[in-house]
Chains A and B, each alone.
Chain A
Amino acid sequence: MAPSATGRSAVARSLGAALIALAAAAALIAAIEFALYPGSGAGPLWALDLFTVSGLVYAAAGLLAWWRRPSNGLGVIMYGGALSWFGAALANTGQDVLTSVGIVVATVELAVVIHMLLAFPSGRLRTRPARWTTAAAYFTSTVLEVPLYLFAPQNSPRGMLAAADNPALTSAGTWLQRVVGCGIVAVTALILNARLRRAAPTQRRVLLPLDLYGIAAVLLGPLTIDVIEPLTGMSAYSGAAMELIVLGLVPVPFVVGMLRGGFARTSEVAELAAWLGADAALRPSLESALARALGDDSVTLAFWLPGRGGYADASGRPLPVPDPESGRGVAEISLDGRRIGAIIYDAALTGEPELVLAAGRVAAIAVDRQRLTAELLASQEALRKSRARLVEAADLERRRIAQNLHDGLQTKLVLLALEAQQLAGQPSMGPAAAGAATALRERIDAAAAELRELVHAVMPAPLIERGLGAAAEDLADRMPVPTRLEIGVDGNLPEAVSATAYFVVAEGLANAVKHAQASELGVRITRDRDTLLVEVRDDGVGGAAPGGGLGLRSLADRVDTLGGRLLVDSQAGRGTSLRAELPCGS
């Protein structure tokens, strides 16, 4: 997840400011050094620049790591590495005092690499051997460096760092530093090897090249001078440049491995806790806070719904538990001994399930709170669906009744009327009997007409036969008041939606005719993406009661069931408008 200003606490924002200051400091130091090199005569400019450039690489990597993983110490160590490079680079500035400082800290960057190797990926030295080895590395690069300039005036400008001129002591010191240094590298390799063996296979793929590269970089210095240059005849500058490039690029794989290599932060708890305490309005979702804390963008928070016996997402939709084979891990969250949810994470990315469980424990109370919301939403959704099913079932039943009445009773009435008429036409009938038969036919006709109206009210034939547009037009045609019609839909609407829209139009028009004393009515049916808008308006007296009559109330229920809303706007003297918005996503 990309860091965002709104998603961070006040502490994090001040961290951002501090990091910017640190970046500015690094840039300033680098600028000064670049400015000093041309007059120093210490060597080819590109070789000198390489020192400072290495420092800048360390600084950039360190600040990035610091920003993305504030509670991970690796960023701090890298920034320290940057300072050590800037310090070492001072030896080439041509200024006596600065050069001396550079000489004193010349090999600290090697100790920093050891430190980084041992502290990866958490930034912390967790075991005693690691701590001792790191301390020894810093000791070797500072204290054991002392004889190299203390007893050799030629190694510092005008011998200002030298106390005596004693080549024997100098060479003994150099020898001691080499031996101890090699020992430290060996111990480091052992520690790293042990760690590799404990690591999960996915982590091993990241750790192994990283460790090899780090060790090689540390060894490259002595190897270049003592082995590679004599063997290959490489110039001292080329050898130094190679060494510088290899060493200078060390933080790059580290920061990539830290951010992308799938090593969860070990102390994300502090930030998660900060999230929990943050202002609710500024707080990003719990899920994204967890994603940030675990360094896994794919984190999904599942809430346990005991009533349903399954997991759901934040909006109450069912969430299947992933197959363990799929590479998704599930860390259950419990509170007071009951299951409340689970964190579903990328098992390949987050190597340590313990970390996820720990994060879950920290967030448990917040998860439980959101779980209640999810549970409510789930039951609301279930209720809405069941109501929608009721409406659909009722519509189906209406259709069936209308069809049965039409096919059965109505047809029979027509045939009865036919028979009565045929009786009337029998030559054997007297005029009186014929008249009576004709009257009978007419009464049957009237009954059939009544039945037709009933069928129409139950489920209008035009709606079934030709869809909403034609049915609305048919309604408008039968209005005693001029009715303007605007229809912008085709037939592709769910049955429940088109039936509901029809009933809105029918109810709106009927009310307008009954109460509004309008001189003109208007019907508009349009579709805006996934919403069907139905509006019936009149230019009548307005002032309809907000609650509406029974018809309007049951219509509002029907609209609500489909997840839509029904609005009545009726100010006295300004006409009335009945407006329905119906979701019709297909």
Chain B
Amino acid sequence: MRVVIGEDEALLREGLALVLGTGGFEVVATAADAVSLIDRVRELAPDLVITDIRMPPGYTDEGLRAALEIRRTIPRIPIVVLSQHLSRRVALELVAGQAAGVGYLLKQRIADVSTFRHDLVRVCEGGTVLDPEVVSLMVARARADKDRLRQLTARQAEVLALMAEGRSNASIARALSLTERAVVQHVSNIYDRLGLPASDDDHRRVLAVIRYLARLAPLPVSGPRVKVADGQVDGMTQSPACLLIAAMVCGRAGRVKRRAALAQRRRRRS
């Protein structure tokens, strides 16, 4: 797979090249600033773009804006955005509109080579990958909004969070040491409780969950806006029953426990 990298730090660029040197990736170009990143991508039409958020010349969010620009103008090119810090708004901006082939990960995830490569492959195949940290942030915000998500059991909550990260049933089963059948059962129960439309497509499933979480805890109206239009949420109903999903993660397990669970999951992924 042909990859274009947008990263202004030489060290990290080399690190990425090292990770991608094997396993079917080929770095065809690197760009040290946002403008040349867009130029390289237009010119080379790669199979994957990996970019940092903070880039020259302003060292603010030029990389992110370049990524959004690429997604808007050449939607078929998958993009993974790396950052030293994760925020809910950036995640929602990235999955807004059409959400195929997008990833949002902490920079340090590249150290866990096999998981990172696996995530890249999923994005290349049109999947969505969100860092567990930002998913837990979204779930926490949704939960903070009263007790809508408390109907789920602790186990169902864990499954929901992994769904939001963009994992397949098999992957969730591995992460939680369950059988795939058990995961399917959990997913089906979650769907029932929240009124989400059943879908075998991992990607559509991610979007449904993320949008559900975003709706429970909307971003403030000012500032850059994220559109989570109803029409895009595939058939998701708005019945009160469907409002109960994500809060569960924390409702029962409690914050500390949930953190431990997330850390454990992360360890299991490696």
Residues of A within 8 A of B (CB): 403, 406-407, 410-415, 417-418, 420-422, 425, 438, 441-442, 444-445, 448-449, 452, 455-456, 460-462, 464-466, 469-470, 473-474, 477-483, 485-489
B85 touches A462 (CB 8 A): yes
B141 touches A465 (CB 8 A): no
Chain B neighbourhood of A473, CB < 8 A: 87-89, 219-220, 223
Chain B neighbourhood of A481, CB < 8 A: 144
Chain B neighbourhood of A470, CB < 8 A: 87, 89, 223-224
Counting CB contacts under 8 A, is B268 at the interface? no
Counting CB contacts under 8 A, is B122 at the interface? no
Complexed CA–CA distance, A411 and B83 (Å)? 12
Indicate which residue in B15, B61, B85, B220 contacts A414 across the interface (CB closer than 8 Å). Answer: B15
A415 touches B15 (CB 8 A): yes
Nearest A residue to B13, CB-CB: A411
Nearest B residue to A455, CB-CB: B84
Indicate which residue in B19, B108, B137, B270 contacts A448 across the interface (CB closer than 8 Å). Answer: B108
Distance in Å: Cβ of B145 to nearest Cβ of chain A: 6
Chain B neighbourhood of A483, CB < 8 A: 144
13 further contact pairs, Cβ within 8 A, besides A438-B270, A448-B108, A470-B89: A410-B107, A411-B15, A414-B15, A415-B11, A417-B108, A442-B270, A445-B111, A465-B53, A465-B64, A469-B220, A473-B223, A477-B88, A480-B255
Distance in Å: Cβ of B137 to nearest Cβ of chain A: 6
Number of A-B contacts (CB under 8 A): 114
Chain A neighbourhood of B112, CB < 8 A: 417, 421, 441, 445
Indicate which residue in B14, B15, B85 contacts A461 across the interface (CB closer than 8 Å). Answer: B85
Residues of B within 8 A of A (CB): 9, 11-12, 14-15, 18-19, 53-54, 59-61, 64, 83-85, 87-90, 107-108, 110-114, 137, 140-141, 144-145, 219-220, 222-224, 255, 267, 270
B114 touches A477 (CB 8 A): no
Complexed CA–CA distance, A464 and B62 (Å)? 11
Distance in Å: Cβ of A348 to nearest Cβ of chain B: 52
A and B contact pairs by CB, cutoff 8 A, 8 listed? A415-B111, A425-B113, A441-B111, A445-B108, A456-B85, A464-B54, A480-B144, A482-B145
| B interface SS class | helix
Complexed CA–CA distance, A421 and B89 (Å)? 31
Complexed CA–CA distance, A437 and B59 (Å)? 35
Complexed CA–CA distance, A546 and B88 (Å)? 35
Indicate which residue in A414, A461, A465, A485 contacts B108 across the interface (CB closer than 8 Å). Answer: A414
A452 touches B9 (CB 8 A): no
Nearest B residue to A483, CB-CB: B144
Given contacts A461-B84, A465-B53, A466-B61, contact A477 B12 (CB under 8 A): no
Chain A neighbourhood of B223, CB < 8 A: 469-470, 473, 487
Complexed CA–CA distance, A445 and B220 (Å)? 33
B84 touches A406 (CB 8 A): yes
Distance in Å: Cβ of B178 to nearest Cβ of chain A: 23
| A interface SS class | helix
B219 touches A449 (CB 8 A): no
Chain A neighbourhood of B12, CB < 8 A: 411, 414-415
A418 touches B18 (CB 8 A): yes
Indicate which residue in A414, A438, A444, A485 contacts B110 across the interface (CB closer than 8 Å). Answer: A414
A411 touches B9 (CB 8 A): yes
Nearest B residue to A449, CB-CB: B108
Complexed CA–CA distance, A444 and B270 (Å)? 14
B137 touches A477 (CB 8 A): yes
Chain B neighbourhood of A452, CB < 8 A: 84-85, 108
Nearest A residue to B141, CB-CB: A477
Nearest B residue to A407, CB-CB: B9
Chain A neighbourhood of B64, CB < 8 A: 465
Distance in Å: Cβ of A406 to nearest Cβ of chain B: 6
Given contacts A465-B54, A473-B87, contact A444 B59 (CB under 8 A): no
Complexed CA–CA distance, A488 and B114 (Å)? 44
Nearest A residue to B60, CB-CB: A465
Indicate which residue in A418, A441, A487 contacts B15 across the interface (CB closer than 8 Å). Answer: A418
Nearest A residue to B12, CB-CB: A411
Chain B neighbourhood of A410, CB < 8 A: 84, 107
A462 touches B220 (CB 8 A): no
Nearest A residue to B220, CB-CB: A485
Nearest A residue to B112, CB-CB: A421
Given contacts A403-B59, A469-B223, contact A422 B113 (CB under 8 A): yes
Complexed CA–CA distance, A414 and B18 (Å)? 12
Distance in Å: Cβ of A340 to nearest Cβ of chain B: 51
Distance in Å: Cβ of B180 to nearest Cβ of chain A: 25
Distance in Å: Cβ of B47 to nearest Cβ of chain A: 22
Distance in Å: Cβ of B264 to nearest Cβ of chain A: 12
Distance in Å: Cβ of B84 to nearest Cβ of chain A: 6
Distance in Å: Cβ of A537 to nearest Cβ of chain B: 16
B60 touches A464 (CB 8 A): yes
Complexed CA–CA distance, A438 and B53 (Å)? 28
Complexed CA–CA distance, A474 and B220 (Å)? 11
Question: Nearest 8 CB-CB pairs, A to B?
Answer: A417-B111, A461-B85, A469-B223, A487-B222, A482-B144, A485-B220, A465-B61, A418-B111
A411 touches B11 (CB 8 A): yes
Given contacts A461-B84, A487-B222, contact A421 B111 (CB under 8 A): yes
Given contacts A403-B59, A414-B12, A418-B18, contact A488 B113 (CB under 8 A): no
Distance in Å: Cβ of A499 to nearest Cβ of chain B: 14
Nearest A residue to B88, CB-CB: A477
Nearest A residue to B83, CB-CB: A461
Chain B neighbourhood of A469, CB < 8 A: 220, 222-223
